[in-house]
Structure 1
Amino acid sequence: MAAQVASGATNGGPDLNHLESMMLSNARRTKSVYANTTGGSTDGRKRIKLDPGLASSDPDLDKTALSLRLHAEYSDVQTLPEAIASKLPAAGPRKKKAKAAGEEAPSHPEEQARKLIEGIPAKSTAPGGPSNALVLSRKPGAGPSAGPSAKPGTSSNAQRNEPQQMSLARRGDVLAAPRPDWHPPWKLMRVISGHLGWVRALAVDPDNKFFVSGAGDRTIKIWDLATGNLRLTLTGHISTVRGLAISPRHPYMFSCGEDKMVKCWDLETNKVIRHYHGHLSGVYTLALHPTLDVLVTGGRDGVARVWDMRTRSNIHVLAGHTGTVSDLVCQEADPQIITGSLDSTVRLWDLAAGKTMGVLTHHKKGVRALTTHPTEFTFASGSTGSIKQWKCPEGAFMQNFEGHNAIINTLSVNDQNVLFSGGDNGSMSFWDWKSGHRFQALDTTAQPGSLDAESGIMSSTFDLSGSRLICGEADKTIKIWKEDENATPETHPLEWKPTFARRKF
């Protein structure tokens, strides 16, 4: 071919330069059409090796071949399938915002590919949603060279002054921390003595006239709520009484203890009328279903047992925990049973099927206390140094109650959104349920003559009005707390400093 071109040039044929340009054009077209674009072969993943002479004469040839491979290999994945694209949030507001700011609208996919090939990077956008990240912000009056886009060729003085002209600032779209409601402080109202052991269980009468207490002296005592006078002492357990519950629909009281016994007491005759046999070890907690005639107990054998109140039959054995079931609560809607265990988990149970609906594994230490809100569909769990709030029915985490660094033995909440937590070292904390703010923290006063190690809060409950808090303690006393009726927001202002908000869900 070269000989023919040479002979043609000498014989007065076409110009040699014209033929050479035609050859280069044909070679470029052949390379682009018949390039190896198969993804299965190794050559298909490599960059097309061009003739050095062709590349030097035509710099766009390399980009043409790369564009060909880009479309051949990635054309089927440039757009998402409709099933996936329909689930993604619409980008309408973001496009409007870009147009309002005078920015270019998103270009065609081929145009984006061309820019990618030519080395023009696509503009990256931050993921949507509030962020607590620190970002660089330029102080007013800072020169253009102070920004992160300053060119390498800027003066040395501008580069030296850059740290002084830039400052760290938090993004303006962070969530504002919710302001807590004001609650009056709580003060000690009455101290009741009478037990000879740690007061481990408390329950209030549905008519709010009396309350019952169970202790390590194996007795159950009934106290008048208004005066604090002792009404009656019941004996029958042969070990520490750990759980008490009074039925709102029947004249029955239920008790359980470390002697593996679960008893049903008739409050009209003050005698035991039923026993529920089945637990293999000590029974640490019990609860009554609010609408069904069902009793649920849990204990050291790691299971929660569901009993028919009347027939004494064991309906379900809720197995799944690997440690002691230390506390449980019942509610009307699913999950109707919630259990906390020393295996550091909280389980939500399907009462009809007798199976686990969900397991909450956020706690690092054993969960010793649970409480449900009387009006909201939420509950709280407490372990060593950690109190967490959850939302039913799925058990979604809402927030932490931070600040009570002790072994949390008991939790109680009233309808005024006051959460109480009692620690094993005698520390007491009062929280605002909605915001998680601790508005009062104090230590209990041990009974004179008792050891300092006996200043622990073992059990607690609010009365039906929510205005009195009953605490059973390790110094063998029962202490009743009430709100300070003379307190006002002016005399006891809310000590709250807003912080950068945490997402509640």
Structure 2
Amino acid sequence: MPSSTDDVQRHSVHTLVFRSLKRTHDMFLCEQGSLPPLDPNVDRVRRMVKARDQYGAVLNLVNNNRRRAGSHPGPPDPDHLPPPTQDIPNGSVAGPLALPQPPPAPTPPPPSMAVVASAGGGGASAGQQSLVPRRAPTLPRPKWHAPWKLARVISGHLGWVRCVAVEPANEWFATGSNDRVIKIWDLASGQLKLSLTGHVSAVRGLSVSPRHPYLFSCGEDKQVKCWDLEYNKVIRHYHGHLSACYGLALHPTLDVLVTCGRDATARVWDLRTKANIHTLTGHTNTIASVVCQAAEPQNLTGHNAIVNCLAMNREGVLVSGADNGTLYFWDWWTGYNFQKLQAPVQPGSMDSEAGVFAMTFDQSGSRLITCDADKTIKIYKEDDMASEETHPINWRPEILKRRKY
């Protein structure tokens, strides 16, 4: 009887190990983020449909105008191609192909042309389209913004400060660091109010709920935690990421949390039930950050290092922080870079530890909080003594036009 019991136990352990191996194999075998191969025929049809739908009215406009003017006919219209001619023996051709063609007349194109519809005329000329010179685009003048200066340096973390979040009442803010600790600071005085421990690896993301007394955090330990700020303890865990979690964001109107990480997925969670509502795949590598609100697209260049973070206030001031400690201040509406700052390192740190990892504005938009690689938190504010006379706008749109067009 004991031998039969041992056989049953050995068989049970073997079955469990085999099932675990099978689940692991099935999980990592299929590439959920990869796209299916593209069929060349489908891609060709898609391009033809898009060209016909968006450019159908002007697709053959130039060739038709040249035919009417009696100049060089140009390439044939693909919609009205003649039937293919058959070869005739003895090297002869039949029909109009034997007629001599007049030499093409050179027609130099104008420097800048745009397609518009002609206004007047009736009969055959009504509704025709012509080519007219296009007016040069004009760039709006940027709005003046006061320059910013360093107001306070806060130290207390034992590792790189990686994330920051400001609470909706604008009384305190929280920071997360590589020392696995979340610290809460008073925004007015810069004094430490509370330290929260629970992560076993670096804290990479923080967010404060505007409708609930909750603080959400994520880290490289694959954990996403919900902290109750009334009791200062963890009340929920969101399990599902297969690797380090690098960022999170709260939806502005729904009770939904979105996280992203090194497993190349963005996961959508229900705050109350902890259910993984959606798993957004499509990336093929690490997802560094995620946001739940979109704005008008803008393309800005100027940094000479990796850009780690961005922040914007209601006045249209966009700030970007890079790995070399540079802070660039932009006017969002025009893309004008009105100020450049170099974040100073605290005494005892190397110049290479001047990187800016995260930043955010407070709720009023008058103070900028940055998290730096020298283990400090820096607070910037506008210079009250600056004016348009002392810091004029150095706006040169002609250089920008030449560079852009």
Same fold (TM over 0.5): yes
CA–CA distance in 2 between the matches of 1:503 and 1:176?
14
Taking the aligned partners of 2:292 and 2:95, their CA distance within structure 1 comes to 62
| 2:150 counterpart of 1:188 | yes
Distance in 2, Cα, partners of 1:225 & 1:413: 18
**Aligned-residue offset at 1:89:** 7.0
- Once the two structures are TM-superposed, the CA of residue 41 in structure 1 deviates from its matched residue by 3.3
SS in 2 for 1:264: strand
Report the alpha carbon displacement of residue 406 of structure 1 after superposing the two structures with TM: 1.3
Residues 174 and 501 in structure 1, CA contact (< 8 A), matched pair in contact too: no
Does 2:53 align with 1:91?
A: no
What is the identity, as a one-letter code, of the residue corresponding to 2:97?
Answer: R
**Which residue of 211, 221, 232 maps to 2:183?**
221
Q: 1:416 to 1:45 in 2, by over 3 A?
A: farther
* Aligned partner of 2:384 among 485, 497, 504: 485
Contact 1:196–1:476 (Cα < 8 Å) also in 2: yes
RMSD: 2.8
Residue 494 of structure 1 is matched in structure 2 by: 393
Tell me by how many angstroms 1:174 deviates: 1.3
Aligned-residue offset at 1:40: 3.0
Structure 1 residues 44 and 244 mapped into 2: Cα distance closer, same or farther (>3 Å)?
farther
Aligned to 1:13: none
Q: For 1:416 and 1:181, locate their aligned partners in 2 and report how far apart those are by CA, in whole Å.
A: 10
2: CA distance between counterparts of 1:45 and 1:225?
89
Q: Distance in 2 between matches of 1:231 and 1:38?
A: 84
**Structure 2 residue matching 1:400: 3-state secondary structure:** coil
Question: How far is the alpha carbon of 1:402 from its aligned partner?
Answer: 2.0
Deviation at 1:44, TM superposition (A): 4.9
Match of 1:310 among 272, 277, 282: 272
Query: In the alignment, is residue 406 of structure 1 matched against residue 302 of structure 2?
Result: no
Q: Which residue of 2 aligns with 1:445?
A: 344
Once the two structures are superposed, residues 95-145 of structure 1 have per-residue CA deviations (whole angstroms, 9 ceiling, x without a partner) of 68xxxxxxxx9989xxxxxxxxxxxxxxx97x5574xxxxxxxxxxxxxxx
Paired residue secondary structure (2:289): strand
**In 1, Cα distance between the equivalents of 2:257 and 2:389?**
47
Residue 431 of structure 1 is aligned with which of 327, 330, 336? 330
* CA apart distance, 1:488: 0.7
Q: Give the equivalent residue in structure 1 for 2:256.
A: 294
Which residues of structure 1 form unaligned runs of 5+?
A: 1-36, 50-61, 67-87, 97-104, 109-123, 131-172, 332-371, 379-389, 391-398
Q: In 2 relative to 1, CA 47–441 (structure 1 residues): closer, same or farther, beyond 3 Å?
A: same
Structure 2 CA distance for partners of 1:190 and 1:107, relative to 1, 3 Å: closer
CA distance in 2, matches of 1:129, 1:253: 58
Task: Give the Cα–Cα distance (whole angstroms) in 2 for the partners of residues 215 and 435 of structure 1.
Answer: 35
**Given residue 249 of structure 2, which amino acid in structure 1 is its aligned partner?**
A
CA gap 1:40/1:257 in 2 versus in 1, 3 angstroms: same
Matches within 5 A, 1:123-134: 130=134
Greater relative contact order (Cα < 8 A, sep 6+)? 2
Q: CA, structure 1 residues 502+203, in 2 after alignment: closer, same or farther (shift >3 Å)?
A: farther
Q: 1:48 aligns with which of 59, 74, 98?
A: 98
Moved over 4 A (4+): 105-108
Instruction: Output the CA distance in 2 between the equivalents of 1:221 and 1:441.
Output: 29
**Pick aligned residue for 1:212 from 159, 174, 177:** 174
2:199 aligns with 237
1:346-399 superposed Cα distances (whole Å, 9 cap, x missing partner): xxxxxxxxxxxxxxxxxxxxxxxxxx5xxxx42xxxxxxxxxxx1xxxxxxxx4
User: For residues 91 and 302 of structure 1, do their structure 2 counterparts lie closer, same or farther at Cα, with a shift above 3 Å needed?
Assistant: same
> 2:115 touches 2:132 (CA, 8 Å); kept in 1?
no
* Identity level (%): 58
- Measure, in 1, the Cα distance between the counterparts of 2:94 and 2:170: 82
Deviation at 1:451, TM superposition (A): 1.3
Between the aligned partners of 1:418 and 1:38, the Cα distance in structure 2 is 62
SS of 1:401's equivalent? coil
Q: Deviations over 1:49-83 (max 9, x none)?
A: 6xxxxxxxxxxxx78xx9xxxxxxxxxxxxxxxxx
**TM-score normalised by length of structure 1:** 0.57
Counterparts of 2:291 and 2:143, CA distance in 1:
27
Q: Is the CA contact 2:116–2:132 (under 8 Å) kept in the aligned structure 1?
A: no
